[in-house]
Structure 1
Amino acid sequence: MKPVRVYFNRWFSVAYHYMNLIRENPDGVPFTIYATHPDINHMSLQGADIAETEPELTGLAYVEFCLDFCRRHAIDVFIPRLHMLEISRHIARFDEIGTKVLVCRDTELLESVMLKASFYERVRATGIMPVPEYRIVRSAEAFGEACRELGDMGYRVCFKPNDSEGGLGFRIIDNKRDHLADLFGYVTPYISLEEAQTILAKASSFPDLMVMELLEGDEYSIDCLSDGEGRLLAAVPRRKAGGRLRLLERHPDFLELAARVAETFRFPYNFNIQMKYNQETAKLLEINPRMSGGLHLSCLSGINFPYLAVKSALGGKVPAMELEADILATHIEQPVIVQRREYQLPERFN
């Protein structure tokens, strides 16, 4: 059987696990994994069979690079992370060369997901789940007013850029910090309102900030698998259980939520819903229209999310699946040789 050619562009380090999960699939389908990254020694590339250096490009120039790569290597399935929106806008060009792309084709939806405020409003309009109380600010003065307003409503306050990924730029307002202890302690996300406002006031401009209620309860990451039409095939709720522990559990409310999200938005293939409790209410943090950073842990459920997404994209039949038992899981670092250089020993050692 001719190996299926799969390409990952610039991904996080955990793509190493996704590549191996695809390669070690239960159907015995052979794969050749291709990957690119600006750093040829990046961890994500260590899981690839063929790796190349990726140029630092944006916009259409980056799409052209990806198209050329897929064309040159006759790629069957492309799994993008970087610049997904631009790739989605030009998806027809990948169709023309016969490359299936694991990306949401609804560019309007994809764009709204990347701007948290617009997506929160979209979710609020559907009524399928609660969203946090928030304000969008563009000035230091508005920032201070929003923090005080939410504080007066009884919330602890946090903020992050409206257009960001993961924990980038996330800070928690705490006006009772011991600055000397902070100086000699670990780096933390905490900052006082006065410090934050002073920094923002000194800037001529800054990206839109989302000031929001701090959700302080249990955090869940729900890894989901849909077919190419957005029909849900599997969902695994994964709770942070302290330190590196993660509990994969059959949480009925979140399994139902995953079904509602799939039915409402029709995200194809792999997507992830992040929820966090404030007291008794779980509220949306964000939805990632791609494989999550902890997806390899959810695969301990026996559901091979990366491989099944590829299989579905290629027209294979993927049945609906469920988590069969609660699983407490963790992870450890794994040493990997990136390069090996042989040396000729001096004669005195021979």
Structure 2
Amino acid sequence: MEPGEFEFYVTHERENSLISTVADHFGPEVFARKSNMPEGYVDWALEYCENHKINAFVPFLHRIALSAHRDRFAAAGVKLLTAGDHEIMQMIENKPAFLSKIAELGLKGTKYLPFRDLEEFDIAWGILRQQHDKLCIKPAKGIYGAGFRVIHEDLDDYRSMVSGAASSISINLLRYTLSRSDDRVNMMLMPLLEGIERSTDFVCDQGRLIDCVTRSKHADGSRKVAPDALHEDFARKIAAGLGLSGLLNFQTMEDAAGVPHILEVNSRTSGGIGQTIHAGVNLPLLFARSLTGRAYDRPVQQESCSVAENIRWARVG
């Protein structure tokens, strides 16, 4: 970025966060009483923006709640940068609703059946197990893979526990917990996709794709950043179909035939965004410049490279 082009104000719940080393202004994230959340956070964020004369606010916490208050921020001269309006944000964060929507856009999402209790699980299991050898579960809402489990029909639960296999659960233990719990969380039963996992970071503005970079994880442990025409087409259709704006991310997994299935869209910047610069494209800068209406000349060709998981080095392939 050019000297003085932008000025960044950053808040974080940890006062020793490394982001403080690059922010122009850094301060602690102030939380209201838990009983007053997320409304208290919305009020605090608006007051912070007004006091510091913020032009654009990119939230991480309470994005859905904030998206219902875009007019309040606009009235204060602040552009609140959620991926979409409140309805769109609610849909994105609800995986079944999102998968239904992208099917309407002609995109292939992962197959699933919903369940909330043991009876519904048994019905879903009876249907999908006849069609697929391996199945998995995850909550309809969640981030960072929380709640994802691969279901095993012959797993020793004790050995699983002491070995730290947190991503696995036996069908016996799963059925037992469902029968004993009073919670009724919306869950999804899905075929386990074991092909290449890809994560596409993309910048878009009111449904128009500006640029994207696709990262992939391979069976040998390698991670690559490379141009991917198919996932670029996915990004363009997702952005246009949902009218999205921001620096966002979506994920796919390949099935046994090598066909990628869309898993979800993240209405936030991904944790792996630092890897994308090795493709020769500065997505965060493009995002920032898109807010000012500045034109962007896309690189003639992205680079292909391998990257370490800790994002400390790159090798051009």
Residue 33 in structure 1 maps to residue 12 in structure 2: no
Match of 1:230 among 185, 207, 221: 207
Residue 131 in structure 1 maps to residue 131 in structure 2: no
In the TM superposition, residue 141 of structure 1 has moved relative to its aligned partner by 1.8
Residue 176 in structure 1 maps to residue 176 in structure 2: no
In the TM superposition, residue 45 of structure 1 has moved relative to its aligned partner by 4.4
Match of 1:241 among 218, 232, 244: 218
In the TM superposition, residue 206 of structure 1 has moved relative to its aligned partner by 2.8
1:324/1:42 CA distance change after superposition, 3 Å: closer
Structure 2 counterpart SS, 1:152: coil
Residue matched to 2:121: 143
> Do the aligned residues in 2 keep the contact of 1:244 with 1:331 (CA within 8 Å)?
no
Max radius of gyration: which structure? 1
Structure 1 unaligned segments of length 5 or more: list them. 1-24, 335-350
Residue 203 in structure 1 maps to residue 178 in structure 2: no
In the superposition, the TM-score normalised over structure 2's length comes to: 0.89
**211-220 vs 97-106, which moves further:** 97-106
User: Which residue identity does 2:243 align to in structure 1?
Assistant: R
Residue matched to 2:267: 289
In the TM superposition, residue 148 of structure 1 has moved relative to its aligned partner by 3.0
In the TM superposition, residue 318 of structure 1 has moved relative to its aligned partner by 2.5
In the TM superposition, residue 90 of structure 1 has moved relative to its aligned partner by 0.7
Distance 1:333 1:283 in 2: 26
Residue matched to 1:279: 256
In the TM superposition, residue 145 of structure 1 has moved relative to its aligned partner by 2.4
Could you give the per-residue CA deviations for residues 225-251 of structure 1, whole angstroms, max 9, x where no partner exists?
Answer: 113x22111111110135764211222
Could you give the per-residue CA deviations for residues 213-236 of structure 1, whole angstroms, max 9, x where no partner exists?
Answer: 111110111111113x22111111
> Do the aligned residues in 2 keep the contact of 1:104 with 1:289 (CA within 8 Å)?
yes
Residue 318 in structure 1 maps to residue 293 in structure 2: no
Distance 2:181 2:244 in 1: 38
Could you give the per-residue CA deviations for residues 102-129 of structure 1, whole angstroms, max 9, x where no partner exists?
Answer: 22233212110100001111111221x2
> Do the aligned residues in 1 keep the contact of 2:156 with 2:170 (CA within 8 Å)?
no
In the TM superposition, residue 43 of structure 1 has moved relative to its aligned partner by 4.5
Distance 1:308 1:327 in 2: 21
Residue 111 in structure 1 maps to residue 87 in structure 2: no
> Do the aligned residues in 2 keep the contact of 1:137 with 1:210 (CA within 8 Å)?
yes
> Do the aligned residues in 2 keep the contact of 1:138 with 1:209 (CA within 8 Å)?
yes
1:198/1:258 CA distance change after superposition, 3 Å: same
User: Which residue identity does 1:270 align to in structure 2?
Assistant: L
Q: For residues 153-192 of structure 1, what are the structure 2 equivalents within 5 Å?
A: 153-192=131-170
> Do the aligned residues in 2 keep the contact of 1:224 with 1:270 (CA within 8 Å)?
yes
In the TM superposition, residue 185 of structure 1 has moved relative to its aligned partner by 1.9
User: Which residue identity does 1:51 align to in structure 2?
Assistant: G
In the TM superposition, residue 158 of structure 1 has moved relative to its aligned partner by 0.6
Distance 1:96 1:292 in 2: 29
Residue 265 in structure 1 maps to residue 242 in structure 2: yes
Could you give the per-residue CA deviations for residues 154-213 of structure 1, whole angstroms, max 9, x where no partner exists?
Answer: 241111111111201111101222345324323331101110111122111231111111
1:91/1:244 CA distance change after superposition, 3 Å: farther
* Count of aligned residue pairs for this structure pair: 307
Structure 2 unaligned segments of length 5 or more: list them. 313-317
1:320/1:266 CA distance change after superposition, 3 Å: farther
In the TM superposition, residue 273 of structure 1 has moved relative to its aligned partner by 1.5
Could you give the per-residue CA deviations for residues 289-326 of structure 1, whole angstroms, max 9, x where no partner exists?
Answer: 22111111012222221122111112322234465221
Distance 1:277 1:240 in 2: 11
Distance 2:220 2:70 in 1: 40
User: Which residue identity does 1:267 align to in structure 2?
Assistant: L
Residue matched to 1:7: none
Distance 2:61 2:115 in 1: 27
Residue matched to 2:81: 102
User: Which residue identity does 1:38 align to in structure 2?
Assistant: E
In the TM superposition, residue 279 of structure 1 has moved relative to its aligned partner by 1.4
Residue 52 in structure 1 maps to residue 31 in structure 2: no
Structure 1 counterpart SS, 2:214: strand
User: Which residue identity does 1:284 align to in structure 2?
Assistant: I
Distance 1:256 1:30 in 2: 31
Distance 1:233 1:322 in 2: 14
Q: Percent same amino acid at aligned positions? A: 26
> Do the aligned residues in 2 keep the contact of 1:230 with 1:267 (CA within 8 Å)?
yes
**289-298 vs 322-331, which moves further:** 322-331
Distance 1:186 1:45 in 2: 34
The alignment yields a C-alpha RMSD, in angstroms, of: 2.2
Distance 1:329 1:213 in 2: 29
